[in-house]
Structure formats: structure tokens, C-alpha cells
Amino acid sequence: MSVTQQLTFPRWANQVRSVVGLLFVLGPLYALGLVYFGGAPRTTNVGYMPAQPVPFSHAQHVGQLGMDCRYCHLFVDRAAHASIPTTESCMNCHRAIWATSPKLLLVRESLTTGKSIEWWRVHDLPDYAYFDHSAHVARGVGCVSCHGRVDQMAEVWQDLSLSMSFCLACHRSPEQHLRPPDQVTSMDWQAPNGDPIAHGMVLRDRAGINPSTDCSTCHR
């Protein structure tokens, strides 16, 4: 084949050229659209804080009242997903406390209608990534390592980027993030002697903790 033959475009190439041109214009628009209209993964959205239907405050319930996470997020140490509390569990207290507060109107309505409150999701990994709470919480990785100081949040926001490199950094060297499993919900636990790595290494050895970095651990 000669050089000229290679460089000569057939007649249909003109049509292709206009189609390709159109793609060059539409491609970036499409990508922008994905970013702005929800196609972008929420997981790396540090600071994402959707307005919730009820002004529920973790700072008030955890920070001031000292409630444990597991009172509301029931299965976080036993299942892949941390459940969001039912209306009934709020009403255990709010039948008596702030029983007529306008801020709790939607909660009382939800109890009457039986329709659950539609909380907005804050953290949401893409479907192709697999995550399991119990695998972390039961092994002594505290909530604060991935969600930050929830006890100081009037409204929950995403505090850390839950990107693949974030997951992998800890899977490669988890020591400094390990604590005794009975301290996982504590927001201000400190390692003894101010040395989280030394303390974590002991815990790691004792429990044989060895997080995998195989692709199939998180992409199955």
C-alpha cells in the first residue's frame, strides 16, 4: 500500500467528519451534564450536606445527650449496611420530650401515616464498589475514621473522600486506625501513650487483622 493511498480519504469521510465534529461538541457537554446532574460519584464529594426533611442533630443527640451510635444505627457492627432509625425509635423519646415541637411535625405525621421519613443519603458508593460495615466495626475501625466528628455535626456532611485511594491507604497499613472493638463508636478515644501505631500493631497481631488489597475484595 502506498503512502498516498493511506492518506486519501474516501468520499464518506466527509460525513464521518461532521459526525465526529458533533461528538467533539457534545462529548464535553455530556460529561459536564454527568457531573452536574448526579452521574458523578457522591463518594468523593467532601462537604456534601443535603438539607434533611427533619432538622435532626447529631451534635444534640450524640454530643450533648451522649447517645451511642448503635441505639439508632442498629446493625452497623453486624451487617454490611448501617440502618437508618425508624420513626418509632424517635418516638420512644419524643412522645414525651418536645412532644409538640414544630420541628418534629414530620416525625409525628410519619407515625400517623406509617410512611417513613425520606432522609437524603449523604454517603453513597458507586454500585461497582462493595463495602461492609461489620467487617470494619467488628475489627476495631471506629466510625470517626471514615465519617469524622459526627458528634459535632448539627447536620451530617461527608467529611472524608471515600475514594479508592482512601480505602487502599488504610488497607495497606491499618495499624494507626485500630482500637479496641468496644471503643468503635467513641468519637474522642485516644491510643494510650499517644502512640496509635504501636498500640495498633499489638491489636493487629493479636486479632490477626490483614485487610486485603485484591481488586475482588471491593469489586465483586
Question: 10 vs 86, which CB is nearer to ligand HEC?
Answer: 86
165-194 residues in contact with ligand HEC (CB under 6 A) are: 166-168, 170-171, 174, 177, 184-185, 187
Q: How far apart are the C-alpha atoms of 100 and 116, rounded to whole Å? A: 19
Fill in the per-residue mask, 7 to 36: x = in contact with ligand HEC (CB under 6 A), - = not in contact: ------------------------------
Q: 17 or 81, CB closer to ligand HEC?
A: 81
Q: Please give the single-letter amino acid code of residue 199.
A: H
Residues 107-126 within binding reach of ligand HEC (CB under 6 A):
107, 119, 121-126
Grid coordinates representing 191?
491510643
Question: Nearest 5°: CA angle at 42, between 37 and 48?
Answer: 95
Q: How far is the CB of 86 from ligand HEC (least distance, A)?
A: 8
**Distance of alpha carbon 146 from alpha carbon 153, whole angstroms:** 14
Cα–Cα distance for residue pair 8/132, rounded to 1 Å:
57
Total number of residues binding ligand HEC (CB under 6 A)?
A: 79
CB of 11 to ligand HEC, least distance (A): 40
**Closest to 168 in 3D by CA, of 220, 128, 217, 205:** 217
Nearer to ligand HEC, 21 or 39 (CB): 39
b/e code 133-149 from CB counts within 10 Å (16+ = b) = beebbebbbbbbbbbbe
Nearest distance from C-beta of residue 114 to ligand HEC, angstroms: 16
User: Is 218 near ligand HEC (CB under 6 A)?
Assistant: yes
d(CA 167, CA 161) in angstroms, rounded, equals 9
Q: Does 129 bind ligand HEC (CB under 6 A)?
A: yes
- CB 33, min distance to ligand HEC, A: 18
Are 178 and 203 within 8 A, CB to CB?
A: yes
Sketch the per residue contact string, 42 through 81, with ligand HEC: x for CB under 6 A, - otherwise.
-xx-------x-xxx-x-xxx-xx-x-x-xxx--x----x
- List the one residue from 110, 111, 150, 203 that touches ligand HEC (CB under 6 A): 150
Q: Contact 211/169 with Cβ under 8 angstroms?
A: no
